[in-house]
Structure 1
Amino acid sequence: MRLNKLASVQTAAIESGSLRWKASAHLPTEYGQYRLHAFVDMHSGQEQIALVLGEVSGQARVLTRVHSECLTGDVFGSQRCDCGEQFKRSQQLIQARGNGIILYLRGHEGRGIGISNKVQAYDLQDTGLDTVAANLALGLPVDQRAYDDAASMLQHFEVKSIELLSNNPDKSRALTRLGIMVEAVTPLEIASNPANADYLATKKHRLGHHLSLVP
């Protein structure tokens, strides 16, 4: 019975782009009872994750966080960025709303340059370069993230429109170009600390992020 049910669920694999659904399971967290969904990009082999709270299919203005993977911030608790705190805050806001989606985009480490290059960039930042200049000094793009997998996952869940939790206007523009209706963008600003104040200032002044708390 269970195997037959699983087989029938697997036939619902999405066909949008190169992304394919692989499995789903219950995930209890500190901030609510989520459904964990695993996908694989058949072109790149990259695995992607979606956390869904409550009912979202057919819903409009679904509270959504499109979160770029950040090992240092999300796992190690780094204070050099605001990523880990943004992830927790997203969970809290979605729990308060009662439903929502967090798309955890693997392959986005360091705005797409990978963890090893990110550590090299950190080392250059310790000498005085900002996060943009450090990437360029390494001969790397400032930001090479793509959001095709995020759009495919949202289409898989059949949401009508989203309320995006983000300070980055490029993210909402990218999703819109990919056919996602971004009905509203809600800031997800975290107060700075001495270790990330310059980083946040660079995101505001050089990358155009909407950060009202940054001078």
Structure 2
Amino acid sequence: MNATASLPLYEYVSSAKLPTRWGLFYIHGFVETATQQEHVALSFGQWQADDIVPIRIHSECLTGDALFSTRCDCGAQLEKALQNIVAHGKGVLLYLRQEGRGIGLLNKIRAYKLQDSGMDTVEANEHLGFDADMRDYGICKLMLDKLVVSKVNLMTNNPKKRAALEALGIEVAERTPIDHGITDDNRGYIRTKTEKLGHEFDPHLLK
């Protein structure tokens, strides 16, 4: 018998305090055992096991989250999600290291170059030989179980995230849109996400 066959797919590693400009969060580390890919969850406040907990599943975006790019709305959505969690007095942000909808940072830069030449974000990914969205949300189950969250108010415009959580046995009791960070630089990108990937944005914001 292969010894690695019995290893769990995902493992919890450790937790620590994480002071932020919005308040004191706790950061919880997780790892995918097969790839050693690392992910984190940020939790704020306290809740009972059957509470509806506000959460955001956020895929890593170095350019938007850390370098303040306006090619996408990621950084603005991340900041708004953290603000919303603190405003509710409790919540969780799952930060998944799945850059570029799963294609990685350098391939995302290659996709940006193709977008500079006229392709949209879906066409660029597919031209490089990738699916339009390659993300996997399986680790979310371990993260939420560790934090004793089973019922959520999901902050998202992406129905695939809702479907993924429900398939994992997480009850999505509510969904809150997070229409932030729309600029002239990314309006076309967001239209593509709406038209080709099924994201649900207020159409008035895309005019």
2:186 to 174, 196, 200: 196
Distance 2:19 2:57 in 1: 20
CA distance in 1, matches of 2:48, 2:145: 10
The question of whether the paired residues in 2 share the 8 Å contact of 1:58 and 1:158 is answered with yes
% same residue: 44
One-letter code of the match for 2:171? M
Distance 2:181 2:40 in 1: 27
Question: Number of aligned pairs?
Answer: 200
Shift of 1:56: 3.5
Report the TM-score when normalising by structure 2.
Answer: 0.93
Q: Cα distance, 1:160 vs. partner?
A: 2.8
Residue 27 (structure 1) aligned with residue 34 (structure 2):
no
* 2:56 aligned to which of 65, 79, 88: 65
Tell me the residue number matched to 1:75: 66
AA paired with 1:131?
T
Cα distance in structure 2, aligned partners of 1:57 and 1:102: 17
**Which of 35, 41, 46 is residue 50 of structure 1 equivalent to?**
41
Asked if the contact 1:63–1:162 (Cα under 8 Å) also holds between the matched residues in 2, the reply is yes
Q: Distance in 1 between matches of 2:8 and 2:187?
A: 38
User: Matches of residues 119-198 of structure 1 in structure 2 within 5 Å?
Assistant: 119-198=109-188
* Conservation of the 8 A alpha-carbon contact between 1:38 and 1:48: yes
- Per-residue deviation at 1:35? 0.7
Residue aligned with 1:195, SS: coil
Determine helix, strand or coil for the equivalent of 2:162. Answer: helix
Gaps of 5+ in 2: 1-6
Secondary structure of 2:192 counterpart: helix
Q: Aligned ranges for residues 83-98 of structure 1 at < 5 Å?
A: 83-98=74-89
Please list the CA deviations of residues 46-70 of structure 1 after superposition, one character each: whole Å capped at 9, or x if unmatched: 1110100011351421000000010
Name stretches of at least 5 consecutive residues in structure 1 with no aligned partner.
Answer: 1-15
Would you say the 8 A contact 2:52–2:151 is kept in 1? yes
The CA RMSD over aligned residues, in Å, is 1.5
